[in-house]
Amino acid sequence: ITDFSCYTHALDKMDAFMTKMKKENPGFQVNTFDIGGGTPVFYNDPVPTPAQMAENHVGKLNQLAETHGTYTLMIESGRFLVAESSMLVSRIVNTKEYNEHKIVIVDAGYHILLDAALLKQEYPQEVVPVVNSKDKATSLAPVKNTHLAGRLCDTYDVFPISKVSDLNESEVGRYISFYNVGAYSVVFNMPFHCQTKPPIVMKNSDGDFRLVRKGTTYEHLFREEGGELE
């Protein structure tokens, strides 16, 4: 939520509700007040900071406490806390060009990033740089009107491209990083069109990497569908 008026409107409604409840039930007291989630994450456009959100909310929250009694404040900031914790790396498996358009096809799909199909979430994307033997990054001529798609042969399997994405060097065999995918993407993974789940690798605070989830195989999918039943 980037428009703070949503919170202001909700807090005003709660103020009126608590006032009404106290009149009808003099002993009524709110002990826990949950203002929900919505702490914004940077995907495409600049977003307000938590400090700016607090500056907007704190006056009304204090007024509620003074009027209706103190309470425990809860804030659900799950997406804000975990979105930047993960990235998806996908390999370019094919490209197609016509006129000034280029379609880049990757081995991921919306079965891995379901928000891209359901919410049209614009994850920042970047072609992973390639460094040659002289430690100089290669550079290819930019192509206008790049489109990014998965390989599910489904009309929904097209990834919205963020304003901050850089796909100019999209060639078969290169890798594309999708950033800020830590919220919900793992739990949304599904075996649509018999697609397997990718492995998950974690980078420790000391810089080491370790496997925290193995990728599934077609044998796993077979067993889930009753393939071992006699």
Q: How far is CA 207 from CA 86, 174, 204, 210, in A?
A: 15, 24, 5, 10
List, as one string, the DSSP characters of 35-52: --------SSS----HHH
My answer on whether 111 and 185 are in the same domain is yes
My answer on whether 19 and 101 are in the same domain is no
My answer on whether 148 and 98 are in the same domain is yes
- In the block, tokens 């040659």 appear at 132
User: Tens of pLDDT along 79-117?
Assistant: 888 999 999 999 999 999 988 899 999 999 999 999 999
My answer on whether 210 and 176 are in the same domain is no
Domain count, the chain: 3
pLDDT of res. 143: 54
My answer on whether 98 and 155 are in the same domain is yes
My answer on whether 103 and 174 are in the same domain is yes
**CATH number of the domain enclosing 132:** 2.40.37.10
User: Tens of pLDDT along 45-56?
Assistant: 888 888 998 898
My answer on whether 120 and 65 are in the same domain is no
- Expressed as residue numbers, the domain containing 68 is 5-81
What pTM, to 2 d.p., does this model score? 0.82
My answer on whether 178 and 142 are in the same domain is yes
